[in-house]
Structure 1
Amino acid sequence: MPIDLYYMEASAPCRSVMMTAKMVGAELNLKKTDVMAGDNMKPEYLKMNPQHNIPTIDDNGFYLNESRAICAYLVNAYGKDDTLYPKDAKVRALVDQRLYFDMGVFYHRFGLVYYPIMFSGATKLDEKALKDFNEALDFLETFLGQNKYAAGDHLTIADIALVASASTFVATNKTVFDKHPKIQAWLEMCKSEITDYEETNNQGAEAFGQWAQSALAKLESE
């Protein structure tokens, strides 16, 4: 049976799950969940996920939220091998570190810059948040100077999660990585390796970018 995925296409975390599922051959039954309209606050959704965030999966009665945990689960449950989430303790620890970096620093700091404009009515960019965000970009540039990929010598779910984030950044600001050539090269390399990249990620990233740019355009016109 296919796995139900409750998602929004514009959401980077949701797209990381879609990319991972495609890479391991797990079939998804996509269920659009409009959090702006409150779909995630309905009783049947809260029963699956009391945190009421997206993405959430229902794998034949097994419910799981938090995208990076879902990606790891998909590889463990459906992957033909452990390439995307290696079992070697040291390699897996490095993948985990990059996943936590994506969640707690890389994407988080992006949100601190742009979410107040998009969702909270802020009238200007926070300079401190922007400085911290640029520092996060520098961190990834440094990581990619140590390894060809985010966590070693081949594509893993760490790359997939970070690609979902990075592509969202580019869709929001086309010049975001102009000072980060290693990130630019890595992103293009990953795009070429991720199955059905346009469908599973790029369309949603562009949708987010249009949303963000619309909010920023209003800011600039004030």
Structure 2
Amino acid sequence: MPIDLYYMSLSAPCRAVLLTAKMVGVELNLKTVNLMGGEQMKPEFLKINPQHTVPTLDDSGFVLTESRAICAYLANKYGKNDKLYPKSPKDRAVVDQRLFFDLGVFYSSFSDYYYPIIFRGATSLDDGKKKKLDEALRFFNMFVSDRDFAAGDHLTIADLSLMASASTMESVNPKIFDDYPKIKEWMERCKNQIPDYHDLNQVGAEIFGQIGKSALAKVQ
């Protein structure tokens, strides 16, 4: 049976799943959920995922939400080797740490700073939240300063998740990584190793960026 993915291309977490599926060779049956139009609140979707979030994966009746859990599941079940998600406890722990960092620090500090303007009608940016974002960027720049990829010397699902986030951030603010050259170098390495990167991730990131820049232009 096909693996259904309920998703929206604007969503960085959804795009992380697309990248992971491509790398493990899984074909997804994509089902767009228009969050802006409220389709996530339709009864048929709530029956599948009462949290009404995307991405949501349905693998022959096994339903899983939360992008990083989905990426790990796909790598565990369908990966041809353990490079994307190492089985070694210490190596996997580093990958997990980077995934949690993306969720709780890296992308969340970006969304805390920019989302009030983009989605909630705020009229100014918060200096305190800007400091948190800058701190997150410094941390990640440090993570990739002495290694080629986020969790080691080769690409893992941590890179896929963080790349979906970073590309979205850069699309909203093209100068966001100007003071963090190691992040820029890491992004280029990832782009060169991820199959179909542009179509699966960059296109959606740039559409999100257009929305973000339009909203920011009204308050700057």
Instruction: Give the corresponding residue for 2:83.
Output: 83
Gaps of 5+ in 1: none
Name the CA distance, whole Å, in 2 between partners of 1:36 and 1:145. 38
CA deviations on 1:140-181 (whole Å, 9 max, x unpaired) are: 011112322100110000000000000001101111111111
Partner SS, residue 35 of structure 1: coil
Does 2:140 correspond to 1:140? yes
Partner SS, residue 31 of structure 1: strand
Name the CA distance, whole Å, in 2 between partners of 1:211 and 1:54. 19
Q: Equivalent residues in 2 for 1:1-222 (5 A)?
A: 1-220=1-220
Name the CA distance, whole Å, in 2 between partners of 1:162 and 1:142. 14
Name the CA distance, whole Å, in 2 between partners of 1:118 and 1:62. 34
Offset at residue 37 of structure 1 (A):
1.4
Offset at residue 77 of structure 1 (A):
1.0
Letter in 1 for 2:179: K
Offset at residue 44 of structure 1 (A):
1.7
CA deviations on 1:80-108 (whole Å, 9 max, x unpaired) are: 11110000000000000000000000000
Offset at residue 3 of structure 1 (A):
1.2
CA deviations on 1:32-63 (whole Å, 9 max, x unpaired) are: 10112111111221122111111001111111
Name the CA distance, whole Å, in 1 between partners of 2:39 and 2:57. 15
Partner SS, residue 144 of structure 2: helix
Name the CA distance, whole Å, in 2 between partners of 1:216 and 1:210. 10
Partner SS, residue 30 of structure 2: strand
Offset at residue 184 of structure 1 (A):
0.4
Offset at residue 201 of structure 1 (A):
0.3
Name the CA distance, whole Å, in 2 between partners of 1:37 and 1:63. 23
Gaps of 5+ in 2: none
Name the CA distance, whole Å, in 1 between partners of 2:32 and 2:130. 31
Name the CA distance, whole Å, in 1 between partners of 2:124 and 2:189. 34
Which stretch shifts more, 109-118 or 43-52?
43-52
May I ask how many residue pairs the two structures share in their alignment?
220
CA deviations on 1:6-26 (whole Å, 9 max, x unpaired) are: 111010000000000000010
Are 1:2 and 1:26, in contact at CA under 8 Å, matched by a contact in 2? Answer: no
Segments ≥4 residues shifted beyond 2 Å: none
CA RMSD of aligned residues (A): 0.8
Letter in 2 for 1:192: N
TM-score (ref. length: structure 1) = 0.97
